[in-house]
Amino acid sequence: MEPKVINQTLSKAAHSGRWKYGQHSCFCQKQGSGNNWAYGYSVHGPRHEESIMNLIQKEVEKCDSLNGFLIIMSMAGGTGSGLGAFVTQNLQDRYSNSLKMNQIIWPYGTGEVIVQNYNSILTLSHLYRSSDALLIHENDAVHKICAKLMNIKQISFRDINQVLAHQLGSVFQPTYSGEGSFHYRRNPLGDLMENLVPHPEFKMLGVRNIPQMSENSLAYSTFTWAGLLKHLRQMLISNAKMEEGIDWQVRPPLSGLPMLGKMSLNKEFHFNTSIANLVILRGKDVHSAELGAFKDPALYTSWLEPVHAFSVWKTQRAFSKYEKSAALVSNSQFLVKPLDMIVGKAWNMFASKAYIHQYTKFGIEEEDFLDSFTLLEQVIASYCNLGF
């Protein structure tokens, strides 16, 4: 799959002079998956299982202490989604004690691939069973960040990938392992999952960053922790994807009063309930940052105390070019609406049986589709009921 892409990636990295991929730590084939999840999962998967798992084994053996696996994939195509799901399942079987986080690219709502909704629901349902956490990035949101915050006129995939890299970096760069400690965290992946995924039914995580702006604007801006954290908190509770256009009207429900009625998807989502949140602060004077607002029990579900639900990581070292920056990784109702939309569209298409013959050709039957729909409807319902 994708020999051109892999070759390009390897050569670009090698030329940058900063870091490169090992010559033999890649695997590709000439034959693609044709945007067909069934082809990636049922044909490419079993055919290349040996080679792929051997490559992974080699890398694993080099590690002193394996944290886990971060699998980066897209949902709309055939290889990323189908083969990605297959590999994750294999990792589950072979390395059952290691943690797996899948970083997933949620496709544009207006379509890059026509069968993206089918590919997405099949991927999500399979990953929900075999992965430990799903870190989700939406193309639409990242595109808006590029347009509004970074002021890029002609957005290319390079710009989008840059924002994604920034978001991932802000989460996984080293931080101190405890308050006042001088040792770096040994297992960020494990700690992250321990804090954010307390229950296997709720695995969808989203990332929000602040600030994000173009280099030109950076020279004219100064930040305070209070300002950054206030915006970040409002982004969390109003489900904003970036720091512009935040709805300041949204407030958490007053504690003690019962929630009025069930949260229905037809009405506008007003308040975003969280299961768990992790805030990562990087930069000057980080110890002076005041995080009490995030520990408000009204933000969280009733079955988890804020002391367990909220955690914070800090480091004095600035990240990228920002003197102070904050990232929020959140397990909350962020993604219910996009998920609901994808399931709805896929269901409509499924009802007319369009494109199904392309999947049954490679062994994915209608029952597999129905299983996926059932699982995802269950996830949507569980997340919706968090408001109680």
Task: Give yes or no for residue 5 binding other proteins (CB under 8 A).
Answer: yes
Question: Out of 57, 354, 363, 365, which residue is the one contacting other proteins (CB under 8 A)?
Answer: 354
Q: Which stretch binds other proteins (CB under 8 A): 44-52, 82-90, 279-287, 376-384?
A: 376-384
Scanning residues 40 to 99, which ones bind other proteins (CB under 8 A)?
A: 78
Q: Does 266 bind other proteins (CB under 8 A)?
A: no
Confirm or reject binding of residue 36 to other proteins (CB under 8 A): yes
Q: Which is nearer to other proteins, 199 or 251 (CB)?
A: 199
The single residue among 65, 96, 249, 352 that binds other proteins, judged by CB under 8 A, is 352
SS (H, E, C) the chain: CCHHHHHHHHHHHHHHCCCCCCCCCCCCCCCCCCCCHHHHHHHHHHHHHHHHHHHHHHHHHHCCCCCEEEEEEECCCCHHHHHHHHHHHHHHHHCCCCEEEEEEEECCCCCCCCCHHHHHHHHHHHHHHHCCEEEEEEHHHHHHHHHHHCCCCCCCHHHHHHHHHHHHHHHHCCCECCCCCCCECCCHHHHHHHHHCCCCCCCEEEEEEECCCCHHHHCCCCCCHHHHHHHHHHHHHHCCCCCCCCCCCCCCCCCCCCCCCCCCCCCCCCCCCEEEEEEEEEECCHHHCCCHHHHCHHHECCCCCHHHHEEEEEECCCECCECEEEEEEEEEHHHHHHHHHHHHHHHHHHHCCCCHHHHHCCCCCHHHHHHHHHHHHHHHHHHHHHHC
113 touches other proteins (CB under 8 A): yes
Query: Which of 88-96, 113-121, 182-190, 295-303 is the region at the interface with other proteins (rule: CB under 8 A)?
Result: 113-121
Contact 101, 131 (CB under 8 A): yes
Q: Is 378 in the site for other proteins (CB under 8 A)?
A: yes
355 interacts with other proteins by CB under 8 A:
yes
Q: How far is the CB of 384 from other proteins (least distance, A)?
A: 8
18 part of the interface to other proteins, by CB under 8 A:
no
- Piece of the chain touching other proteins by CB under 8 A; list 109-117, 170-178, 191-199, 287-295: 109-117
Burial 224-234 (b: 16+ CB within 10 A, else e): ebeebbebbbb
Kindly tell me which of 25 and 374 has the beta carbon lying closer to other proteins.
374
Interface with other proteins includes 366 (CB under 8 A)? no
Candidate segments 130-138, 202-210, 243-251, 347-355, binder of other proteins by CB under 8 A: 347-355
Binding of residue 360 to other proteins (CB under 8 A): no
Interface stretch with other proteins, choices 122-130, 224-232, 241-249, 341-349 (CB under 8 A): 341-349
The correct pick among 51, 217, 224, 348 for binding other proteins (CB under 8 A) is 348
Q: Mask 295-324, x = binds other proteins (CB under 8 A)? A: ------------------------------
Residues lying near other proteins in the complex (CB under 8 A) are found at: 2, 4-5, 8, 29-32, 34-36, 78, 108-115, 143, 147, 153-158, 160, 343-345, 347-349, 351-355, 357-358, 373-374, 377-378, 381-382, 385
